[in-house]
Amino acid sequence: MIFYAELGLKVDVVQVDDMATRVEEFLDALADLEEADPSIHDVDVTAALATGDVSATMYVRADDLADAGQKIVATVRAALHEIGDGTPGWEHVAQAMRQACMNVRAEGARELAGT
């Protein structure tokens, strides 16, 4: 089944020298992961550079909603690591994100490219 997944993040803009560059690096990292993983497709990132609100979106092929949610969380975490950000305490953060700032829904008729 194909799911649309969106995950919101909050970046402390005071800690980031160039927010636009950082968002670009994050999108590039997500694109690298997309290229390596056929279960994710159409990754994108939107950001409010002044406030640090960042949203990562993608389509995920998964067996069920829980697996799709797990996939976006793992993919976002891997992308953050790829750009040099640490994720200490991620287990607690991931749980909070799943409850507060993640949207995952089935996309019944959508097919991933190349499938």
- Domain ranges in the chain are 2-106
The CA distance from 81 to 65, in Å, is: 25
User: What global pTM score does this model have?
Assistant: 0.81
State residue 19 phi and psi, 5-degree precision. -60, -40
**Where residue 82 falls among pLDDT bands split at 50, 70, 90?**
very high
- pLDDT tens digits for 27-65? 999 999 999 999 999 999 999 999 999 999 999 999 988
pLDDT at residue 32, rounded to an integer:
98
Q: How confident is the model at residue 98 (pLDDT cuts 50, 70, 90)?
A: low
Contact 83, 22 (CB under 8 A): yes
CATH class of the domain defined by 2-106: alpha beta
pLDDT above 90 covers a percentage of the chain that reads 52
